[in-house]
Amino acid sequence: MDWTDEGIVLAARKHGETAAIVSVLTREHGRHPGLVRGGAGKRARGVLQPGNRVQARWRARLPEHLGTYTLELMAASGAAFLDDRLKLAGLTAALAVAETTLPEREAHAAVYEGLSGLLAALADDAWPAAYVRWEIALLTDLGYGLDLSRCAATGAREDLAYVSPKTGRAVSRAAGAPYRERLFLLPAFLIGGGDGFAPVDVANGLKLTRHFLEQHVYSHRDRGLPAARQRLEPMFESRD
């Protein structure tokens, strides 16, 4: 078995004295692990930085084997935000969510493209909105898409203000008013309101996606929401 694909490093951990086991989200082959010989060395660690874009060649005798990777650095995205605490937290959270939600060796091209777009968006101040949209797209790709196009109660497309925690469908301000304490707030940037937002809008978006990730994905896994994702949401709640 031998293939070459482009990918994003999600995680790397030392294996033995000199090697590393690396998880790469690839365009055509999904989230795929592999052994990097010499991956614990100083030179290789720069390539294996989570968030880096790489050209990956994977080889194994049988498809079910762990196999070995040869990785060539394409872009050092992982190191670009080391001096920005909030952007680094966003990057780390996205990589952890991808690592813990996507099944191994199953192509999810839309998620890969979305994560690539998020890496690019991190260079801009509007990246928090892109992050929330990426988690919504991830839920959709996993079969748990939200319907934010019209009110679940009336069918109206105007003045959508809430999301039902049970159905994941939008609710208009008027229809949701009697139940607003039980509904999620719907940030305007998720329904055509542009990229303008306040930190509280991002926090509300993250609460929304966290609920459905925990309800539909992490409830069926051995581990819950990653610590990196848990740390991200309060960082927006605490900002002015």
Q: Is the pLDDT reported for residue 195 higher than 70?
A: no
| Domains parsed from the chain with CATH numbers | 2-78 (2.40.50.140), 85-148+186-237 (no CATH)
Distance from C-alpha of 177 to C-alpha of 153, rounded to nearest angstrom:
12
**Taking residues 78-103, what's their average pLDDT?**
94
> If pLDDT is split at 50, 70 and 90, which confidence band does 45 have?
confident
Q: Is the pLDDT reported for residue 193 higher than 80?
A: no
> For 86, phi and psi rounded to 5 degrees?
-70, -45
DSSP for the chain, please give it.
-EEEEEEEEEEEEEETTTEEEEEEEETTTEEEEEEETTTTSHHHHHHS-TT-EEEEEEE-SSTTS--EEEEEEEE-GGGTTTT-HHHHHHHHHHHHHHHHHSPBT---HHHHHHHHHHHHHTTSTTHHHHHHHHHHHHHHHTT---B-SS-TTT---SSEEEE-TTT-BEEEHHHHGGGGGGSEE--GGGTT--S---HHHHHHHHHHHHHHHHHHTGGGSSS-S-HHHHHHHHHHHT--
- Residue 136 has a pLDDT of 98
- Residue 194 has a pLDDT of 64
> Which residue is listed with tokens 């999301």?
163
pTM for the structure as a whole = 0.94
**Taking residues 2-9, what's their average pLDDT?**
97
**Taking residues 31-55, what's their average pLDDT?**
93
- Residue 240 has a pLDDT of 55
**Taking residues 113-118, what's their average pLDDT?**
97
- Residue 218 has a pLDDT of 96
